[in-house]
Amino acid sequence: MTVGYLRPTRILVDQNAIYENIQNELKDLKGTDAVIFPVLKANAYGHGMIPVAEAAQAAGAAGFCVAILDEALALRRANFMEPILVLGITQPTEIELVIANQISITVGSLEWLQAAYEIVQQIPYPQPMHIHLSVDSGMGRIGFRDATELLAAATFIKAHAKYFDLEGIFTHFATADDPDDTYFKEQSARFNELVAVLPERPRFVHVSNSATSLWHSACNENLIRMGISMYGLNPSGNAIPELPYALKPALSLESELVFVKQVEAGSKIGYGATYEASESEWIGTIPIGYADGWSRRMQGSTVLVDGHRCEIIGRVCMDQLMIRLPKQYPVGTKVVFVGKSGDDEITLQEIADYAGTIHYEIICGLSDRLPRVYSGIDEH
């Protein structure tokens, strides 16, 4: 996708915020042997994978997590040599790439290992492949559910140590961000039961996503997969407002007025003529639309102009949208979609609440057409 560098709409990413969020988590881990692997999947939750990785590396990250092999390879091409764990399932046919780039992968079945063994034997001089066994303790997504099969997998790996290295075992909690911890405790107990069948614990045993590390730190084990909290957002939304340390949001979104006009009462605005001016009104046009990830659901929400809340009127177009202004403003006036203006602030949580979704979806939906502008990491 072509990036819109020549229009005034842009995402601003504060690398210092990412640095500080990681540093705060590391302080919370002081006195333990736990390390942090920031989660950089989906272009670092829309923030930009490489600049976020740079900030995380400076903050003391020991490795990285991604969702797919392509993301891991992109980090290697950018010369990040730390351990990288692919959290999703990688096809056995891609084993040669995995080994050549020393990438750790997730395995969730004995059948996968058996298929991989047939392939890896054909690779000249292979190094052992680093494996993290995934346990489905109740998420219902991927992983071992049966103790017998898990033990068989661990035994298979040990029997073929020339090709496989059992580096870790992990699970993912479905309700770590829920005030009711009943199901969380069930999952935790189930994971512990399954891990207990292993003859020896691997180097990394990990269960903690952001929510677990914030509210269930006793379960941290020795690797934290720091995701949404690294970006300064509360994993629970509004469900658990209390946090062990302050989170600093890293992302803001702003644009400018590119056209301003006064319309008379009765004038209609936008596709479907869904908005009609009730009186003489000043209308501003902004170059952002649903192709940029600002969905049609956002009609009726507000943006900030000079500290004033201004309603999005009419339907959001593919590339533009219109707002009602309190008075005439000149073309070029800043418009804030996410962030502060004057004494007011629009948060990603507010936007998610309006759209009936979660802030994860809002930031991951921001299009690559929006340029990302980064503030540098201060000397610390």
Angstrom distance (rounded) from CA 21 to CA 226: 10
Residue 354 lies in a domain: no
In this structure, are 44 and 179 located in the same domain? yes
In this structure, are 119 and 206 located in the same domain? yes
Q: pLDDT tens digits, residue range 115-134?
A: 999 999 998 877 899 999 99
Q: Are 221 and 207 in contact (CB under 8 A)?
A: yes
Residue 107 lies in a domain: yes
| Confidence band, pLDDT 50/70/90 cuts, at residue 200 | very high
- Higher-scoring residue by pLDDT: 377, 109: 109
> What amino acid occupies position 317?
C
Where does a domain end: 231, 266, 301? 231
In this structure, are 61 and 148 located in the same domain? yes
In this structure, are 226 and 91 located in the same domain? yes
| Confidence band, pLDDT 50/70/90 cuts, at residue 31 | confident
In this structure, are 37 and 159 located in the same domain? yes
Known active-site residue 327: no
| Confidence band, pLDDT 50/70/90 cuts, at residue 324 | very high
| Confidence band, pLDDT 50/70/90 cuts, at residue 332 | very high
- Point out the catalytic residue in the list 158, 162, 268, 271: 271
In this structure, are 174 and 261 located in the same domain? no
Angstrom distance (rounded) from CA 360 to CA 24: 21
Residue 2 lies in a domain: no
| Residue 141 marked as a ligand binder | yes
Q: How many C-beta atoms surround the C-beta of residue 128 within 10 A?
A: 17
| Confidence band, pLDDT 50/70/90 cuts, at residue 30 | confident
Residue 291 lies in a domain: yes
Known active-site residue 271: yes
Structural domain count, the chain: 2
Phi, psi of 365 (to 5 degrees): -85, -5
Which CATH number covers residue 325? 2.40.37.10
In this structure, are 113 and 222 located in the same domain? yes
Residue 6 lies in a domain: no
Residue 165 lies in a domain: yes
In this structure, are 33 and 163 located in the same domain? yes
Residue 172 lies in a domain: yes
In this structure, are 162 and 57 located in the same domain? yes
In this structure, are 278 and 129 located in the same domain? no
In this structure, are 129 and 263 located in the same domain? no
Q: Which residues form the domain of 50?
A: 15-231
Say what the pTM is. Answer: 0.95
Q: pLDDT tens digits, residue range 215-226?
A: 999 888 999 999
Which CATH number covers residue 104? 3.20.20.10
Sign of the alpha-carbon dihedral angle for 144, 145, 147, 148: negative
In this structure, are 176 and 283 located in the same domain? no
Residue 374 lies in a domain: no
